[in-house]
């Protein structure tokens, strides 16, 4: 399997261990690199706008986590670590190197786990957007366990701007079923601890690539103190707050979020080259 050159396509790739992965490809790849975008519990549409914006400059690859959007999930693929290995297999299959992995919410957790397992130099940088995954001390802000909340309650905690909160009352039966299935898949991957691996934070000192942790300051699920603790766990982590945004800064404040990513690329990822 070779690196793609097509633009704006969706296809299914067959990976090891019988995993069929649905991926959306945007932009053109001419250098064997790109950006891998990993969505959170809201599904792949929650990073579609970010993928479109980044694809104006680089090849953007957005997989759908198996089990989301009605895609098949093999029984063995049931943890964040399994997804991390699967996406490294994806980068191997496409022969991509120097990839920036951008992860939103649980997608950021997957990105961190990928970096810990990258033995072939596939990853060049990480960008975590209001990521979950680490355990913090009691004095720091905990992550809200969304399993105890209704979709409407989750929405209120996730978006600073009420106008951007989904109106679940208007959802069709099919939309409600799809949302429920996505949340069930999320709960499967997140495991008993749900929002974190208690040992992950202590392992992140082994991640040697540059890491941007961009954080919506008004996130009611995981607050800024949690984000700062995440950034501090990496040897080369930098924390950038995004005012006026909640759990999805790339949706509520796309300009500042893209600006933070651009500055990160210019100053940390490719300091001697133009972005």
Residue 177 to residue 253: CA distance in whole angstroms: 29
72, 141 Cβ separation under 8 angstroms: no
pLDDT at 30: 58
Q: Where are the domains of the chain?
A: 9-269
pLDDT at 207: 98
pLDDT at 6: 44
- Tokens representing 65? 């986590």
pLDDT tens track for 206-263 = 999 999 999 999 999 999 999 999 999 999 999 999 999 999 999 999 999 999 999 9
40, 105 Cβ separation under 8 angstroms: yes
Q: Which residues of the chain have pLDDT under 70?
A: 1-7, 29-30, 138-141, 272-275
- Tokens representing 268? 């940390």
Residue 104 to residue 92: CA distance in whole angstroms: 22
pLDDT at 137: 72
pLDDT at 29: 65
pLDDT at 141: 65
3, 37 Cβ separation under 8 angstroms: no
Residue 104 to residue 248: CA distance in whole angstroms: 7
pLDDT at 3: 42
210, 268 Cβ separation under 8 angstroms: yes
Residue 270 to residue 133: CA distance in whole angstroms: 27
Q: What's the gap between Cα 121 and its chain centre? A: 19
Helix, strand, or coil here: 229? helix
pLDDT at 274: 45
pLDDT at 17: 94
pLDDT at 169: 86
- With 0.85 as the threshold, say if the pTM is over it: yes
pLDDT at 1: 35
Homologous superfamily of domain range 9-269: Alpha/Beta hydrolase fold, catalytic domain (3.40.50.1820)
CA torsion, ordered 190, 110, 62, 234, to nearest 10 deg? 140
Alpha-helical segments (H) within the chain? 48-54, 80-94, 106-117, 151-158, 173-190, 200-203, 224-232, 249-252, 254-264
CA torsion, ordered 12, 98, 37, 73, to nearest 10 deg? 40
249, 214 Cβ separation under 8 angstroms: yes
- Tokens representing 17? 């261990």
Please provide residue 129's backbone torsions phi and psi, each rounded to the nearest 5 degrees. -110, 105
Sequence-distant (6+) residues with CB within 8 A of 109 are 80, 103, 131, 132, 133, 196, 197, 200
């Amino acid at each position: 399997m070779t690196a793609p050159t097509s633009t704006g396509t969706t296809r299914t790739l067959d990976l090891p261990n019988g995993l069929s992965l649905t991926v959306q490809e945007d932009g053109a790849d001419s250098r064997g690199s790109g950006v891998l975008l990993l969505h959170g519990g809201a599904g792949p549409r929650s990073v579609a706008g970010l993928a479109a914006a980044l694809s104006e400059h680089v090849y953007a690859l957005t997989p759908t986590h198996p089990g989301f959007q009605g895609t098949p999930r093999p029984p063995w693929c049931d943890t964040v670590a399994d997804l991390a290995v699967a996406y490294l297999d994806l980068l191997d299959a496409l022969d991509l190197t120097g990839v920036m992995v951008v992860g939103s919410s649980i997608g950021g957790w997957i990105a961190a786990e990928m970096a810990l397992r990258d033995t072939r130099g596939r990853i060049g940088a990480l960008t975590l957007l209001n990521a979950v995954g680490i355990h913090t001390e009691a004095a720091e802000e905990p992550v809200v366990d969304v399993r105890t909340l209704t979709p409407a309650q989750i929405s209120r905690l996730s978006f600073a701007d009420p106008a951007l909160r989904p109106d679940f009352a208007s959802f069709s039966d099919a939309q409600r079923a799809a949302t429920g299935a996505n949340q069930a898949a999320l709960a499967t991957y997140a495991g008993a601890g749900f929002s974190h691996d208690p040992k992950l934070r202590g392992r992140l000192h082994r991640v040697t690539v540059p890491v941007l942790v961009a954080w919506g300051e008004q996130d009611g699920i995981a607050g800024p103190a949690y984000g700062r603790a995440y950034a501090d766990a990496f040897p080369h982590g930098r924390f950038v707050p995004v005012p006026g945004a909640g759990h999805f800064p790339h949706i509520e404040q796309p300009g500042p979020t893209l600006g933070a990513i651009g500055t990160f690329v210019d100053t940390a990822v490719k300091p001697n080259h133009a972005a």
